């Protein structure tokens, strides 16, 4: 049942995007190859025509998740002033796991400590994603003197990642919302001072 080149490429993309969602939702370890391939309407064995290993897929899926996230940030802030753009990015980031089925999730917040114990390839993806996120924000902190921008952006990212992580752990949506709201209040004070 060989497929045409374009069908095969589509299949590969489908595996990556399915994996991307599942890994971010459930964590890396909790997603098995059978579940994953079934979710992409395939069977286990076919996987290894496209990828060398689960670890390689994890790295690609995480990289794709970052790309999707940044593309969304770009399009959501295209017509905004720097200050408005930062505000919007913060709102979107903090709200990422508040409505179910959201496909714009950040590996840093959703995988967290799993990124500490992983192979080098994924770690590089995570590090690059982190740097991109810091820079995205730093570039828009135009009300601050240049040398302060990276420092402040780095702290903003830490706050956002921590808040989303803790909101995900929170047992009820109300508690989650208050954690995110508290973080947002702090971050807003940085933008208006």
Name the residues that contact its own copies, by CB under 8 A: 26-27, 29-30, 108-117, 123-124, 126-127, 130, 150-152, 154-163, 165-166, 168-171, 175, 178-179, 182-183, 185-186, 190
Note whether 2 binds DNA by CB under 7 A: yes
Q: Give residues 134-173 in contact with DNA (rule: CB under 7 A).
A: none
For residue 47, CA distances in Å to 53, 121, 173 come to: 9, 19, 37
DSSP track, 111-150: HGGGGTSS-HHHHHHHHHHHHHHHHHHHTT-TTS-HHHHH
Write down the least CB distance from residue 97 to DNA, Å: 23
Count of residues touching DNA (by CB under 7 A): 29
The interface region with DNA, picked from 29-37, 67-75, 91-99, 173-181 by CB under 7 A, is: 29-37
Two tokens at 180? 């995110």
From the list its own copies, DNA, none, pick the one residue 102 interacts with, judged by a Cβ distance below 5 to 8 Å according to partner type.
none
Task: Identify which of 87, 75, 193, 68 has the alpha carbon closest to the alpha carbon of residue 140.
Answer: 87
Helix axis angle, 82-94 relative to 146-169, nearest 10°? 20
Write down the least CB distance from residue 60 to DNA, Å: 13
């Amino acid at each position: 049942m060989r497929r045409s080149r374009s069908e095969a490429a589509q299949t590969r993309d489908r595996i990556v995007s399915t994996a991307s969602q599942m890994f971010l939702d459930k964590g890396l370890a909790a997603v098995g190859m059978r579940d994953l391939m079934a979710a992409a309407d395939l069977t286990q064995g076919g996987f290894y025509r496209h990828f060398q290993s689960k670890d390689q897929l994890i790295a690609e899926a995480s990289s794709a998740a970052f790309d999707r996230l940044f593309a969304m940030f770009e399009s959501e802030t295209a017509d905004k002033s720097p200050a408005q753009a930062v505000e919007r990015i913060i709102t979107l980031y903090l709200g990422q796991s508040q409505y179910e089925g959201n496909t714009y999730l950040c590996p840093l917040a959703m995988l967290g400590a799993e990124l500490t114990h992983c192979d080098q390839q994924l770690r590089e993806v995570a590090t690059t994603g982190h740097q991109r996120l810091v820079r995205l924000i730093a570039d828009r902190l135009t009300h601050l003197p240049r040398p302060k921008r990276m420092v402040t952006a780095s702290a903003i990212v830490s706050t956002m990642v921590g808040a989303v992580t803790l909101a995900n752990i929170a047992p009820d949506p109300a508690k989650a919302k208050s954690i995110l709201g508290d973080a947002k209040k702090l971050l807003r004070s940085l933008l208006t001072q």
